[in-house]
Chain A
Amino acid sequence: MSKYSMHLLVCGGTGCHAAESDAIVCNLRDELEAKVLTDKVQVIKTGCFGFCEKGPIVKVMPDNTFYVQVKPEDTQTIIDEHIIKGRKVTRLLFKDPSTKEAVSDSKHMDFYKKQMRIALRNCGFINPENIDEYIARDGYQALGKVLTEMTPDQVIREIKESGQRGRGGGGFSTGLKWELAKKSVSDEKYVVCNADEGDPGAFMDRSVLEGDPHSVLEAMAICGYCIGSSTGLIYIRAEYPLAIQRLKIAINQARENGLLGNNIFGTNFSFDISLKYGAGAFVCGEETALIHSMEGLRGEPTIKPPFPAESGYLGKPTNVNNVETFASIPAIILKGAKWYSSIGTEKSKGTKVFALAGKINNVGLIEVPMGTTLREVIFEIGGGIKNGKKFKGVQTGGPSGGCLTEKHLDTPIDFDNLIAAGSMMGSGAMIVLDEDDCMVSMAKFFLDFTVEESCGKCAPCRIGNKRLHELLGQICEGKGKIQDLDRLKNMSVVIKDTSLCGLGQSSPNPVLSMMENFRDEYLAHVTDKKCPAGQCKSLMKYIINAENCVGCTACARVCPVNAITGERKEVHLINQEICIKCGACYEKCKFDAIYIS
């Protein structure tokens, strides 16, 4: 890399990729060729920078200039101005929303200031398709250290002392899990990486695999050494073609470099990794379901015990960890358990990656120390609520989690605090909701998901969630009764207590937490038949304000069911019996004469 004096890093994560970052890479290379600069400046397509809201992102190194929302046609300016003349292109720099000033270095941006990157340490820095760049950033050193200087027990002790807990949602101690798998006696054991990121709104695993696949491969090999396994399997969603492609490249390069295969680092340890594809089933994130799916069966969970550490894939001891968990392991080995356990809260150590999405200004992927408050995450890093609206709640833990409100904003985020607040960490998705979101509709939306994704094996989850969904549907339509709120609650408790796996045990969480935190809103739906957020169609009425109506007939012409009557230049009227509440008239009216009641 030394021959180049400058590097142009272009984000190749999914969000930026979808926004034509490939064209930016091509244009930059063409431009450099035209200006005969290809031997001085290198263009690298990296993994995700995290700041998806402002993508596509181009970073110029070594001066750390961070260009946002770059378009393929901007590339000529970047080369001519920045690379040749040494002048930063101000119009492409990030503008601080409060000071309105351009910020050139990402270190000074609110989005990055409070972040601490361990799992994402290489994302956005290296070309994920080149193993040398990973090695240049201490890659595979942890594996070397483990194989040549440490016994499996020492490694497990180190991981246990670091206090790392599984990042997939369960929060089980990683070291303890490894220890259990090591203790199981068998001729064959398996290391499985759970990359079946099914939680809608979470994309951290995908970003790690796309931006730094080797960190996961290295950690799997370390795990294999500890538990006594020579076979690693990555179970990955088929919906992630880019991650699959980069993993395949990474595995091949690791093999070519002798970092996977036989006698790694000249020791007698051998380890290899292959891929298994998922096919779109949320329940396969549950480890027993995942194992069945890898065996070519329907992804239905089974009762634990036996735990996979005793009897997993093909009946052999199997250790399943999530992508983010694995990605942090090499850093823990190199920097030590003490360093890792100094970060975070008493019972939740280290950092956690969160996917910020929804009604928030800075959608993206962030990594912060455990113990950071929701307020810091949403209002400082996330830049607050979109369009100046009011914050209403944040759903953490995806469809299995709960919705936290204003009163939770100063709670330090960790595994236990989130559970105490009625939610959970889950995989780390945070969906921010504003005043326009209806909490009954949201609960129904999550149930819609759970009903569709329930595997159907156990009755509480299969039938119970469907009933919950029906009840919520009735409430949204204004057919709910006050007793329904108790029925929702009772049924939720039964489903949680009696379901077979994590999916059913957590599926009523959104309903329970939303009913608890937004009781008034539920009451308004059932007693007053009103939706305060104005989202539930059946409870809405479009009404024409006679004072503003000029009789232009635009609304009557656009109405698909002819519910609006009135002569030209006279006040119009909506027949509520016929109105289907499509909102077409509301959008068409230029005189603000139609309002929603």
Chain B
Amino acid sequence: MSEADEVARVAAGLPPYAVSLGIGVERIEAGAPLLTLDFAEKVHGRPGFLHGGAIGGLLEMAAIAALRMALAERGAVPRLKPVNMTVEFLRGGTDRRTYALGRVTRAGRRIANVSAEAWQDDPARPIATAWMNVLLSGA
């Protein structure tokens, strides 16, 4: 599958929440979809800054998208149930585009451990990181 096809496939699979929040798919990077979220009133938290909930939602979508892609490569399409998630907020997100990329630390038979990072100008200066455990069922 070409990268453009892969990007279109990931975008088509985003849930209603991701679409209404304004999450987009930029490209495939390091084997995972690079997601974007543009600054808008609907993601605004304290004055001038991104809301932590919007950052958390973006990180979760990036983690799940990375996991789906990794599982698809091994021919598995289980249902994914998030078990838990921790978000660490490192810097305030300001009024510009935010990027997020997930990384599968380990995908076992029943549980996957996935992390994600979000940044704005510089990937080396993340604004937030997250990890989550996801239950894989019906695989």
Q: Do they bind each other?
A: no
**Which A residues fall within an 8 A CB radius of B?**
none
